[in-house]
Amino acid sequence: MNTDRSLFEDRVELLLADRGHPSVDSEGFRGMDLHQKRMAALFILENEVQHGGFARAYFNQTTELGVFAADGYDAIGAPEHARVVRQSIEAAKKSEESSKASGSTMMTLSEEHIRSGYAAVDAAWAVLSRVDTSSQKYKYMKQHARSFGIVQSA
């Protein structure tokens, strides 16, 4: 694991632990400043998606996670990541609409996954996940050192 990744993950894990491992709709998350929310959302989203795709992320959290994560990717200079996250939010909306409208029409989970667009964004994310954004994340954290308790030497 590279140093920037380790430093990013350690700082965000401390931040989340200090707040009681909040979800994005919790008081603990709402009490964070914008910089903390962005980095926490990236950390949470990446872990959720790694363990079950965007459908899992939005099942366990809300699409607000994607909104903060997309903003975070834009803030660190990773626009392709932000684009895919925004597409995942659209897939979540389609999935929700489809489940409301389905009524008596039963689709298999894989059919729903494809129809909603989750399959496409998960595939796009699989390609992007090979791009290491750790240095960009930690650079952003250092630029906002006060938010993350980072002491910088002179």
Distance (Å, whole) CA 83 – CA 121: 10
Residue 153 lies in a domain: no
Query: Residue 113: its pLDDT value, please?
Result: 61
Neighbours of 70 (CB within 10 A): 25
pLDDT of residue 79: 98
Where the chain has pLDDT below 50, the residues are 104, 106-108
The answer as to whether 154 is a domain residue is no
Among candidates 58, 49, 51, 61, which has minimal Cα distance to 22? Answer: 61
pLDDT given for residue 128 in this prediction: 95
Task: For the chain, give the mean pLDDT.
Answer: 87
**pLDDT 10s digits, 45-86:** 999 999 989 999 998 899 999 999 999 999 999 999 999 999
pTM here is 0.87
Res 104: pLDDT: 44
Q: 11-22: b or e for each residue (b if 16 or more CB lie within 10 Å)?
A: bbeebbeebeeb
Any domain includes 118 = yes
Residue 9 lies in a domain: yes
| Domain contains 37 | yes
CA distance 1 to 151: 22
Q: How far apart are CA 52 and CA 105, in angstroms?
A: 25
Q: Could you give the CA distance from residue 33 to residue 15 in angstroms, rounded to a whole number? A: 11
| Tokens found for residue 151 | 């002491």
pLDDT for position 99: 67
Judge whether 116 lies within some domain: yes
CA 10/CA 137 separation, integer angstroms: 12
pLDDT of res. 95: 83
The answer to whether position 131 is within a domain reads yes
* Structural domain count, the chain: 1
Residue 91 to residue 89: CA distance in whole angstroms: 5
Whether the Cβ atoms of residue 23 and residue 61 lie closer than 8 Å to each other = yes
Name the residue range of residue 144's domain: 3-148
